[in-house]
């Protein structure tokens, strides 16, 4: 495995990355940008270097872009790349199923903790996120996010100031997050680190 910041590209050997590198351009991604499905946008496929869900960039950062025609050619040529993309699709599918169950059974505060932990894992303790955006990402009303964030701040779990959340107490946050956080991490591990794709 390589040290590439994109989860799929990190699975690739250095040989494969070296073959892809001449075709990859690093492009900036704005928070909230909608790219369409990763790997399928026309005319470019993107491999984000930071957090995004199926369609939305969660925290601004960069991506490696490649023309779709070139990507298709490389997929045909390199089985390792094909397998990496399939694994990532399996992870996204598991994540979507998990999210449905979570929405039905857990409180806004539990979901907020879970989601902040996931962002924390991906980008560190300082998260440039507005309440509107968080509300959109976890699928609840902005006022619900505001209430939950106030409580978390009063309890010393976060500092929320001018659109930036700083996670102050990760351990306490883990104890309050719904268990879906661990499920997602396990699914991610299973999907991305499996030896072979069935
Ligand atoms: Zn949940």
Q: What is the pLDDT of residues 86-98, one digit of tens each?
A: 777 777 777 777 7
Which residue ranges make up each domain of the chain? 7-98, 107-177
Task: Please state, in angstroms and rounded to a whole number, the distance separating the CA atoms of residues 40 and 82.
Answer: 14
Contact 126, 166 (CB under 8 A): yes
CB 62 within 8 A of CB 27: yes
Higher pLDDT, 115 or 49: 115
Q: How far is the CA of 5 from the centre of ligand 1 (A)?
A: 27
Q: What spacing in Å lies between the alpha carbon of 157 and ligand 1's midpoint?
A: 18
CA of 79 to the centre of ligand 1 (A): 35
How many angstroms separate the CA atoms of 93 and 57, rounded? 18
CATH class in words for 107-177: mainly alpha
| pLDDT band at residue 39 using 50, 70 and 90 as cut-offs | very low
**Mean pLDDT over the full length of the chain:** 77
Fold of 7-98: Jelly Rolls (2.60.120)
Q: Is the whole-model pTM more than 0.75? A: no
Per-residue pLDDT tens over the stretch 118-167? 888 777 888 888 888 888 777 788 999 999 999 999 999 999 988 889 99
Omega prior to 22 cis, within 30 of 0: no
CA of residue 18 to ligand 1 center, whole Å: 40
Tens-place pLDDT, residues 66-91: 877 788 888 888 888 888 877 777 77
């Amino acid at each position: 495995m390589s040290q590439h910041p994109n989860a799929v590209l990190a699975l690739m050997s250095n040989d494969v990355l070296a073959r892809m590198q001449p075709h990859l351009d690093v492009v900036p991604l704005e928070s909230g940008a909608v790219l369409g499905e990763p790997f399928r946008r026309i005319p470019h496929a993107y491999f984000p270097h930071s957090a995004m869900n199926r369609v939305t960039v969660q925290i601004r950062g960069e991506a490696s872009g490649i023309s779709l025609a070139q990507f298709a050619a490389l997929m045909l040529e390199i089985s390792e790349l094909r397998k990496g993309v399939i694994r990532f699709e399996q992870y996204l599918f598991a994540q979507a199923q998990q999210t449905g169950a979570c929405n039905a059974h857990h409180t806004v505060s539990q979901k907020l903790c879970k989601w902040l932990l996931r962002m924390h894992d991906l980008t560190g303790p300082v998260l440039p996120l507005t309440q509107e955006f968080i509300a959109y990402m976890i699928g609840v009303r902005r006022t619900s996010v505001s209430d939950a964030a106030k409580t978390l701040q009063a309890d010393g779990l976060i500092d929320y100031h001018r659109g930036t959340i700083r996670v102050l107490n990760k351990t306490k946050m883990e104890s309050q997050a719904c268990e879906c956080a661990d499920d997602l991490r396990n699914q991610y591990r299973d999907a991305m680190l499996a030896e072979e794709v069935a």
